[in-house]
Amino acid sequence: MKKLLITSLVLALAGCSLLMPKKVEANTNINGTVESRCTVNTDTVGYYGNPNAYTLTTLPASAGQVPIVRIDSSLANAYKAQISYPTSFSSSPSLSDTVVWTGAVAVAQTSSTDMSGYQAASTTADGGAMRIYPLTIAGTTWFSVSSQATYGGGQQKAFPGGSYTAVVVAECVAQ
């Protein structure tokens, strides 16, 4: 009887050990934030002029205004600026015909003479709508973005009346 009890106890313990997990673990988070050493701000808001029925343009000569984007980088060779002129309206009346988009991105002003080579060193992407500038010097750079939209393709069709909005995308991306 005693042997039977001892055997039962051993079996019970063995069964318990089989039910227990093989290891115990806990996940502890380590949190952190990175504040970008590059900031992007709108220096001058742009708007379209409407020199004729089928054209919207930011040219000052056509009563438009070229938007200026300011990018500040406090760290040299750490970021690149990616700026695109618009290729579509973000809001507009319903358009039944095509819109032809043209535009240009250029360095308008810098905070250092050493940045004067930024435009020459830039590259394009997205079919030329995006221009990429390696920010090799710490400081501030102002970019101008001109934009023009012509309605009706080559047919010079009048834009429907209403409010039109297009967006310039400017980013500071870590290299």
Partner 1 sequence: MIRLLALWALLQQPSYSSSYIFGYTGNAALDSLSWTMTTPILGVSVEEGLDISGVIYNYTAVKEVEDDFTVTIQNENVDGGYIFQETDDWSGKHGMRIQKVIPLPYTPIEEFGDGSIATTGTGSVEDASVLYMYRFDGCRNPQNDKSCPGYVEPMPVIPKIEIYDALDDDAVIDATEKTDSDLYEKEEEEERKEEDEEEDENRLELAMAASENALTIANSVSQSVLLQTINNATNVNTYYAAKVPGGIYRESISLDGGEVVDNRKALRSLAQDNLHNQMIEEQYK
Q: What are phi and psi of 75, to 5 degrees?
A: -130, 125
CA distance 38 to 135: 10
**Least distance (Å) from partner 1 to the CB of residue 116?**
4
* Least distance to partner 1, CB of residue 35, Å: 22
Q: Map residues 127-146 to x or -, x wherever contact with partner 1 holds by CB under 8 A.
A: -------------x-x----
Reading the block at residue 127, the tokens are 């079919």
Task: Using the minimum distance from each CB to partner 1, give the nearer residue, 89 or 142.
Answer: 142
Beta strands in 2-135 (DSSP E): 38-44, 49-52, 55-57, 68-73, 79-84, 89-91, 99-110, 123-125, 130-135
Quick one: 99 or 107, whose CB is closer to partner 1?
Answer: 107
Taking the complex as a whole, how short is the minimal distance between the CB of residue 118 and partner 1, in angstroms?
A: 9
Cβ closest to partner 1, residue 101 vs residue 142? 142
Task: Mark 93-122 with x for binding to partner 1 (rule: CB under 8 A) and - for no binding.
Answer: --------------xxxxxxxx-xx-xx--
CA 2 to CA 74: how far, in whole Å? 82
Q: Is 120 left (phi over 0), alpha (psi -120 to 50) or beta?
A: alpha
For partner 1, the closer of residues 118 and 151 by Cβ is 118
Using CB under 8 A as the criterion, which residues of the chain lie in contact with partner 1 when the complex forms? Answer: 107-114, 116-117, 119-120, 140, 142
